[in-house]
Amino acid sequence: MALSKVDIPRWAQHFLECGIEECERNCEFYCNPCHQRLCKQCSEEHLKSPENRNHEVVLYQQRRRQLPVKKCKIHPTKDVDILCEECQIPLCSKCATMGDHERHKFVDLEIVYTEKYTLFQQEISKIQEYFLPTSQDLQKEIKNDSSQIKHIMDNIRTSMKTEGETLKSLVDTVISENMKQLDQIEHSLLEDLKTQDKTMDDYITYLNNLAIELHRCLSSTETQKLMSEKKPKIRSIPETTKPVTPGFTAGQYSKGDVTKLLGKIYVPSTKAEKREIRPIESVYNTSVKLTHKQMKEDRKKSDKKQTMSLSASVTKVRELNVPDVDNVFHVSLDQSDRLWISDMNGNLVQTDLQGNVIQKIKTSGDRGYHTVTQGRDLIFTDQYKKVINRITQDNKITEFIKTGDWTPLSIHSSHINGDLLLGMRYGYGEGKVTRYNKTGKELQNIQRDSKGWELYRYPHYITENINGDICTSDNKAVVVVNKSGQHRFSYTGQGSDFRPYGICTDVLGHILVCDCFPESVHLLDQDGQFLFLLLTQQQGVHRPRSVSVDDENNLYVGQYDTNTLTVFKYRMYLQ
């Protein structure tokens, strides 16, 4: 059914004209009894007329809808225009006087019709402005997830093939070395047997020659000569040895052993995360008529929310003075009793919880440039050579990722899947985050948001949240993207000058970030909402640069111009 001018929905962009003939001004008011659109001037003239003096003239948006004409079936000459509130039946004025509705309450049907009309129009508006766009966005997200699933599966397949090829290469190497060793043993044994064969050959020649000589003596006619010859002494048979041949012990392995080497597919036990649906209030300002009971319940809920706030207690646990570093620019937890600490001059030191140095390395790194993997290998960046180095448990240093023209700044080893997240810059002002798998294969590049804007300028600290979000301290903002690389939010602090440095997340998904102006540690929730300043100068924090937290909420804070690492314990609670 086509809509008339009066029925144009609220989401349409249209200016209504005054309904008075020859008036072309915009409609602002509406006469409910006349069902007439009016401009301001015409509404004033309309009310000046004696017959219209008591008419209800309202703003056009508050107008009463004109009731469709419907004749009463019992009284065909009468219009159905009232509603019996007791029976909820539309009636004509004559039906209202009949015995079935005696002493019942009645209401103008046009008022009820207007309320219903407005309610349904609101629902249509909700559908157009919120439910449809939100559903379409979710559908788009589902399709993106489908593409992402394929991408992830392809990466897993590639990783599996890489693992298989690596194992095959190792198998080929071991077999080749065994074959080489076997060839050497065979050559040595054959050479020995060849020597023994020559010795026996020489001895047989000697025996043959000796037999010939003896035969010559026997055939001689000179008896005296034979009688004078001494009995020859035959040389002993030379000793020879039997070869000791090598054996082969077949490997004792099972399918499970191969699976351990190659890895296996696993499905996380965590429940699938529900897709975020933006609240309708963020798009559509609902004005629903509530019952007294509902209003009372909502008021109680509102009062309860206002009385509860998130707070924290922070206690200083201890201080560690770390030798061989000028300041504490970055800290990585190795295990429960060990730490890796670095300064801005490339000194990288491993200590215990008492500050005793276990080992130290001189690097060309700066800021958030090292991390510890799930296997407890140390990974650190070399900004000058533009490579990523790995130090294994046997202290062997290897270069396993080259970053080309990009300078590596910060690095983090994922506790979820072992991937490496690397913050890099190109020149001055262009940055990106790249994901590598644990073998060093590039998986993902994150550089721009959905509108094509650059996300990063100087991503010098980086970490990962429990939901897979990648959290980065950039030049003047904390930039957070989801695991697919889509921009979620940017946090720019609570003042005009926000300078984020070290960043980490705790077991509840809170984001903790150092701010040197003012000197504090900010606490954010998982969605970037500022909660409060967890640490300030009042707790003895001065120019914080690095922050890390363990599973027991022990917070390690490093500061500029000092080699002191301060450990705090913090607890969250509602009050």
Tell me the sheet residues that pair with 523. Answer: 512, 532
Given pLDDT bands bounded at 50, 70 and 90, which one contains residue 227? confident
- For 180-329, list the strands marked E by DSSP: 310-321
pLDDT value at position 225? 66
> In sequence order, which ranges of 229-286 are alpha helices (DSSP H)?
255-262
Burial class (CB in 10 A: 0-12, 13-18, 19+), 16: middle
Kindly give, in sequence order, each residue whose CB lies less than 8 Å from that of residue 141, ignoring residues fewer than 6 positions away. 275
Given pLDDT bands bounded at 50, 70 and 90, which one contains residue 216? confident
For 444-482, the pLDDT digits (tens) are: 999 999 888 999 999 999 999 988 999 999 988 999 999
Fold of 15-63: Double Stranded RNA Binding Domain (3.30.160)
**Position 303 pLDDT exceeds 50:** no
pLDDT value at position 310? 60
pLDDT value at position 374? 85
Of 21-30, 277-286, 292-301, 485-494, least confident by mean pLDDT is: 292-301
Report the distance separating Cα 414 and Cα 436, nearest Å: 10
Given pLDDT bands bounded at 50, 70 and 90, which one contains residue 573? low
**Position 308 pLDDT exceeds 50:** no
Task: Kindly state the DSSP code that residue 128 receives in the 8-state scheme.
Answer: I
434: helix, strand or coil: strand
- For 336-476, list the strands marked E by DSSP: 338-342, 347-352, 357-362, 370-372, 378-382, 387-391, 397-402, 407-413, 420-426, 430-436, 442-446, 461-464, 470-473
**Position 183 pLDDT exceeds 90:** yes
Mean pLDDT across 313-336: 88
pLDDT value at position 8? 39
Q: Which bin fits 404, alpha (ψ -120 to 50), beta or left (φ > 0)?
A: left
pLDDT value at position 510? 92
**Position 36 pLDDT exceeds 80:** yes
**Position 13 pLDDT exceeds 50:** no
Report the distance separating Cα 486 and Cα 564, nearest Å: 38
Kindly give, in sequence order, each residue whose CB lies less than 8 Å from that of residue 148, ignoring residues fewer than 6 positions away. 484
Task: List the chain domain ranges.
Answer: 15-63, 310-574
pLDDT value at position 15? 54
pLDDT value at position 121? 77
Q: Which long-range contacts (CB under 8 A, 24 or more apart) does 242-248 make?
A: 243/189, 243/192, 243/193, 244/189, 245/189, 246/182, 246/185
Of the candidates 495, 557, 562, the residue with the CA atom closest to the CA atom of residue 521: 557
118: helix, strand or coil: helix
Residue pair 438/429 in contact by the 8 Å Cβ criterion = no
- Tokens matching residue 467: 């939901």
pLDDT value at position 7? 42
Report the distance separating Cα 183 and Cα 178, nearest Å: 9
Report the distance separating Cα 223 and Cα 229, nearest Å: 10
Given pLDDT bands bounded at 50, 70 and 90, which one contains residue 273? confident
The domain covering 310-574 belongs, at the CATH homologous superfamily level, to TolB, C-terminal domain (2.120.10.30)
**Position 564 pLDDT exceeds 80:** yes
Cα separations in angstroms, 518 against 462, 514, 530: 21, 10, 15
Average pLDDT, the chain: 84
Given pLDDT bands bounded at 50, 70 and 90, which one contains residue 134? confident
Mean pLDDT across 346-351: 91
Given pLDDT bands bounded at 50, 70 and 90, which one contains residue 282? low
- Tokens matching residue 387: 């490579």
Report the distance separating Cα 322 and Cα 166, nearest Å: 40
For 499-553, the pLDDT digits (tens) are: 999 999 998 889 999 998 778 999 998 889 898 999 998 888 888 999 999 888 8
Helix, strand, coil shares of the chain, percent, nearest 5, are 30, 30, 40
**Position 114 pLDDT exceeds 70:** yes
The strand order across the sheet containing 387-391 reads 370-372, 378-382, 387-391, 397-402
Report the distance separating Cα 299 and Cα 316, nearest Å: 41
Of 33-47, 181-195, 284-298, least confident by mean pLDDT is: 284-298
